[in-house]
Amino acid sequence: MFLIICLLLLTGTAFAAPSSPATNLALGCPYVVNVQTLPGWNGLVDGDKDSDSAPGCFATGNAPDYPKYAVIDLQGECTISKVVVYNSANGNTRTVSLASSPDGSSYKYLRAPDFIFAANSAMALTVNFQPRTARYVRVTFVDTWKRGLGGDDCLFLREVEVYGSRSGQAPRPDPFVLASQQAPFVSNRAVAVFKRYCLNTEGEMRMAVVGDTFTTDCDRPTHWVKVLATELSRLYPQKRIVVNAVGGNESALSFGQDWARDHRGILAPDLIIVAYGTNAAVAGASVDEFRSKYQSLISELVENTGALIVPVTTLPLVARDLPSTVVYDAAIEQVASASGLPLLRTAAVLSKIPGDKSLYYLDDRHLSEAGNQAVGNALADLLR
């Protein structure tokens, strides 16, 4: 063998190193959906290709809004050449398309909207293509077979895999690119009832705010909480808007739970804005632990108050040395959806504003006057 190797070296022949298998770049990556998901059904990129139930399977909500789509952030520039989509046997998922983008704004088809999964079939769609640079992969649901689990418009997938290689170290997720795929807020029937029986009647409307440093100094006239109160007074002049309880200097979610227990009875507010998550992101807290504590807080508020509860997602952290808030926003969305609550998406509000986002920040953790105005007005639009 040694003699053969020497002869090959002398003749200039080299051994090719075996190519390493492509990596599933999508595994565990953050993603957003342009519609609400079915509570608990979040397994789009969790690695489970065999589950047709939560949490291993993914499902959209049952709203008849089309197209529905999910955008996966591969967390950095990648070279991709294959996408595999695993359908669920739960039914409904019918026509799908695939597209990729390097920047989250301009997408090119990987597969046009012409592939139709068989009804109630757990088959997989594999799409191979010439290597291309991408950071974002979008899976679009065009229509439904109907008569599936959860209602005609619940669309299911077991998993999405994206194969290729990373071009370099993964940067932090861009919250504005992902959030631009979503609406600024989620409304529901509870909001309509609140407007009819509270805001559209005469008298006092008591508003409370519990949260972390995102709500600090909310007694300032330019803070988004004051902007909301001022705008509600303009929209509903027959109401007297009173901010009667504020927990804006607390970072612990346990404070919110204690506050909920202490504000029962006649002094309970009509509207509660909940704005936690930014401090958890700064501290690098466990997302699972944060989700559990946040769920306990929401449950305490629902049980001990008769108020309309509106969760507000985190203030996106813009400094490069600060962590991403994307995964904490996803946890807040999951809790809000499971609890049937409306929701304001802070990053989505700011993403809809054209131009340089730094103009809407006072510093790397606080909004400027213009940023506060945008968030306060968006909350007012939710309650308009």
Quote the tokens at residue 187: 């409304």
Residue 10 located in a structural domain: no
Same domain, 234 and 305: yes
pLDDT one-digit tens code per residue, 314-370 = 999 988 788 888 889 989 998 998 898 999 999 999 999 888 888 899 988 889 999
Lowest mean pLDDT among 34-38, 148-152, 172-176, 269-273: 172-176
Same domain, 258 and 299: yes
Same domain, 72 and 126: yes
Top mean-pLDDT range of 153-167, 214-228, 234-248: 153-167
Backbone angles phi, psi at 74, to 5 degrees: -75, 0
Work out the mean pLDDT of the chain and round it to a whole number: 87
d(CA 150, CA 143) in angstroms, rounded, equals 15
3-state helix, strand, coil split of the chain in percent (to 5) is: 30, 30, 40
Q: What pLDDT does 12 receive?
A: 35
Inter-residue contact 254 to 214 (CB < 8 Å): no
Residue 177 located in a structural domain: no
What is the CB neighbour count within 10 angstroms for residue 377?
Answer: 18
- Helix spans in the chain (H): 2-10, 175-179, 189-194, 224-235, 253-262, 278-283, 287-304, 326-339, 346-351, 369-382
How many domains does the structure of the chain reveal?
2
CATH code for the domain of 253 = 3.40.50.1110
d(CA 169, CA 172) in angstroms, rounded, equals 10
Q: What is the mean pLDDT of residues 298-306?
A: 88
d(CA 207, CA 274) in angstroms, rounded, equals 11
- Domain boundary residue among 146, 171, 196? 171
- Of all helices (H) and strands (E), which one includes residue 306? none
Residue 176 located in a structural domain: no
Range of the domain at 265: 185-382
Quote the tokens at residue 235: 């929209």
Residue 1 located in a structural domain: no
Same domain, 222 and 260: yes
Q: What pLDDT does 90 receive?
A: 96
Inter-residue contact 302 to 259 (CB < 8 Å): no
Q: What is the mean pLDDT of residues 201-215?
A: 91
The pTM assigned to this predicted structure is 0.85
Same domain, 34 and 150: yes
d(CA 172, CA 92) in angstroms, rounded, equals 35
Same domain, 354 and 212: yes
- Of all helices (H) and strands (E), which one includes residue 76? strand 68-87
Same domain, 199 and 267: yes
Residue 161 located in a structural domain: yes
d(CA 243, CA 384) in angstroms, rounded, equals 18
- Domain boundary residue among 121, 144, 171? 171
Residue 49 located in a structural domain: yes
- Domain boundary residue among 136, 171, 206? 171
Q: What is the mean pLDDT of residues 87-108?
A: 95
| Amino acid at position 343, single letter | L
Q: What pLDDT does 275 receive?
A: 94
Same domain, 64 and 131: yes
Same domain, 148 and 190: no
d(CA 274, CA 247) in angstroms, rounded, equals 10
Same domain, 254 and 124: no
CATH code for the domain of 82 = 2.60.120.260
Residue 5 located in a structural domain: no
| Of 49, 54, 34, 231, nearest in space to 138 by CA | 34
Q: What is the mean pLDDT of residues 29-52?
A: 92
Same domain, 275 and 373: yes
pLDDT one-digit tens code per residue, 232-287 = 999 999 999 998 766 655 556 766 677 666 655 545 789 999 999 999 998 899 98
Same domain, 190 and 296: yes
Residue 211 located in a structural domain: yes
